[in-house]
A = this chain, B = another copy of it.
């Protein structure tokens, strides 16, 4: 019996409440000897650490830098080597497209075609506003193809997401993209016999778009990549018997939470809004995932001071979490985003957990290096959920 099956069998419904605060991209490396978390004034996080058991988590395995998909799935208790999300799905979640089990999505580029050749794969990176206007026009003009409803959703510059909606679509499709400029326009093709009908529909769509945009000198056709069906993932209700809610601002994280079966609670754009939403809905759910994005954005920009500020701002609200008296309060990150690297990295995440059953250790401040000496040691993020559930006394005995 494996990880997921074991948890499914031993999880039980209780009244206990769990708060999981995720500070995205929190982990970092020292600059002038201190990481942003070490440099930030975080009296509340540090006080909390003194009541917690602490550790460091690896999102996938040591050395592997995760994308947001694997990093979050792992934290939600899903094996990230087993559940892989297609690029199209993540792109769709990222721009806030609502995706369901009958949907096939793909990432698209508006591109420029001239006499059958793709002369610019990005259509000169048209302005986002022009992209939005083209998508509006296409959504108005396109009709259903073989009963498949089709919608386009603009992204930045030349990028968009397309959603094909009808039962029975198949995502085993090759990219409709010549990959290089001055190559002939490329259609998709079925990678499995069962995908042939879908391939025909997608190719009819490509021709219809080209027809509608034929008078344009640029951005007059589309390339499609990363075809993906809505992944079938067991929900946190099924696996853990939770009634979970997500409090997040960014579409990608709302989408990932929805995939895991969480209810998405409306929240404003700023950090305090997240905590207002939590307090408002605290009685209605037993698991809350709260996502703070600013720590990651600052790391991606290599902006050490902004990362320190984002940590310090979040620290102010820790007493409000404690004030709710959750049975388990866990604070961690999905992955590290060191300012030095200006991007996600493989470095482990600081993790702390407060519960009446948690072993207090000697960690006196919530930092990467302090957590490395914590009671939990170093472990895969995948085990954060079992730990959280156990400390919430939501797991019964395994075996007799």
Contact = CB atoms under 8 A, between A and B. Distances in A.
A123 interface: no
How many copies of this chain does the complex contain?
2
Contacts of A378: 376-379
Interface stretch (A150-158, A169-177, A279-287, A344-352): A344-352
A221 B299 CA distance: 70
A294 to B, nearest CB: 21
B60 A400 contact: no
Contacts of A387: 62-63, 346
Contact of A379 (B1, B62, B395): B62
Interface string A364-375: 000011001101
Given A61-B383, A65-B390, A399 B85 contact: yes
A56 interface: yes
Interface stretch (A13-21, A129-137, A354-362): A354-362
Nearest to A380: B62
A64 B389 CA distance: 9
A375 B377 contact: no
Give the interface residue-count category, chain A. Answer: 35 or more
A64 B87 CA distance: 34
A84 interface: yes
B399 A10 contact: no
B1 A84 contact: yes
Contact of A377 (B63, B377, B395): B377
Interface in A379-400: 379, 383, 385-391, 395-400
A397 B67 contact: yes
A309 interface: no
A90 interface: yes
A69 interface: yes
Interface string A61-87: 111111111100000000011001101
Interface in A327-359: 338, 340-341, 343-347, 356-357, 359
A64 B6 contact: yes
Given A61-B386, A383-B61, A383-B62, A81 B400 contact: no
Contact of A398 (B60, B362, B400): B60
Given A65-B390, A67-B399, A397-B65, A372 B383 contact: no
Interface of A: 1-3, 6, 10, 29-30, 56, 60-70, 80-81, 84-85, 87, 90-91, 338, 340-341, 343-347, 356-357, 359-362, 368-369, 372-373, 375-379, 383, 385-391, 395-400
27 contacts: A6-B64, A29-B359, A30-B360, A62-B376, A62-B383, A63-B383, A63-B385, A64-B386, A64-B395, A65-B395, A65-B396, A67-B398, A67-B400, A68-B400, A70-B398, A70-B399, A85-B399, A338-B357, A343-B397, A346-B390, A346-B395, A347-B357, A359-B368, A361-B372, A362-B369, A369-B375, A377-B378
